[in-house]
Every structure is written in structure tokens, then in C-alpha cells.
Amino acid sequence: MASKHSAGILLFRRGDEGEVEFLLVHPGGPFWKRKDLGAWSIPKGQIEHEEEARACAIRELREELGPAPDLDPAQLIELGSIKQRAGKVVEAWAAEAEFDPARLDSNTFSMEWPPRSGGEQEFPEIDRAEWFDLEGAREKILPAQAELLDRLLERLGSADGERGFPER
């Protein structure tokens, strides 16, 4: 069986002191409700049959955030791919953009809940979005995705997420 293949975008911005901040999302649904450290992710989703990965990443950003920023695909910063613990491969890009987490309007999914109840409930795919500094992002993000933070900082020319990267 082929492993799942996803694509996503790591949004970032510069804080008041010039430090890089990262937008991460928390998965919705009952299985993730009490999980926090090591449970957050970049907005991402499964690549559909014959879909181009970059197009998937932009589509998923809109589906998971709702009023996502408009991004120029040519301006995305390529971060390469990582392999998560369960074998899922995630291709990632980064983009500097603003997003207000209070405006989160994620798409939803349905599942039988409670288990074996026969009843279906609908849950948001993403229940929270939040901006984190580097230290906070490292604590919250799925362990395999932490590499994406480092890759972005490397491409921006900053080892510690503070200043030292080119102005746009």
C-alpha cells in the first residue's frame, strides 16, 4: 500500500522585534481534543490524483484556514519534503503573509461519534490556529515537521529566527 502524500504551506511573519513567527494549526475532532504539545501542524492535506503538489498546498491552505491570504505560487519558498512517523510524506512551501487566527473557518468532516453509537457528528478539520515564536513552534509542532522550521530559517538566512534575514 502506498503511503499518503500531502502538501502544505508554512506561513510566517516578522514580529515586532524582527523575529520570525510561524502559523500552526491544531487538528479538530475528538481524538486531538486533549493533545497539544507535538500535535500542531502546518496547514496541509492529501494530494488528489494527478494534482500538482504546489496547487494542493494552496488549496489546502484555503480549506483549512477559510479566509486564507492570496498567495502567488511563484513566490512560495520551497522547503522540500519530510516523512512523518506513520510514513506520510509532506511536501512543503513557506510564504510570508498575515492571517488573523480569530477568522479561522475550517472545512469540516463527519465521523461516527461516540464510537459504535451509530450517530454521525461533524467536526472542524482545524479547531485552532495560532502564531508562535520559534521556541513555541518547536514545542507545539509534530516532531517530524520541526525540520520545516529549520529549513525556512536557513533559507531566510537566520539560524535563530531573529533578524539577519533579507528584507522583502
Beta pairing partners, 126: 27
Q: Is residue 164 assigned to a domain?
A: no
- φ, ψ dihedrals at 143, nearest 5°: -50, -45
- DSSP state for residue 119 in the 8-state scheme: -
Q: Is residue 140 assigned to a domain?
A: yes
Helix, strand, coil abundance in the chain, percent, nearest 5: 25, 35, 40
pLDDT of residue 158: 60
Mean pLDDT over residues 24-46, rounded?
95
Q: Which of 80, 114, 116, 72 is nearest to 96 (CA)?
A: 72
Helices (H), the chain: 53-65, 134-140, 146-156
| pLDDT single digits (tens) 119-138 | 999 999 999 999 999 999 99
Q: Is residue 166 assigned to a domain?
A: no
Confidence of residue 16 (pLDDT cuts 50, 70, 90): confident
The pTM (predicted TM-score) of the whole model is 0.89
Q: Is residue 161 assigned to a domain?
A: no
* Joined grid coordinates for residue 105: 473557518
Query: Residue 165: is its pLDDT beyond 50?
Result: no
| pLDDT single digits (tens) 52-99 | 999 999 999 999 999 889 999 989 999 999 999 989 999 999 999 999
pLDDT of residue 168: 40
Q: Is residue 168 assigned to a domain?
A: no
Q: Is residue 163 assigned to a domain?
A: no
- DSSP state for residue 151 in the 8-state scheme: H
Confidence of residue 113 (pLDDT cuts 50, 70, 90): confident
Give the separation between CA 45 and CA 41, rounded to whole angstroms.
11
Domain range enclosing 23? 5-156
Q: Is residue 107 assigned to a domain?
A: yes
Domain count, the chain: 1
Higher pLDDT, residue 116 or 90: 90
Q: Is residue 162 assigned to a domain?
A: no
The position carrying cell 507545539 is: 140
pLDDT of residue 114: 84
**CATH number for position 132:** 3.90.79.10
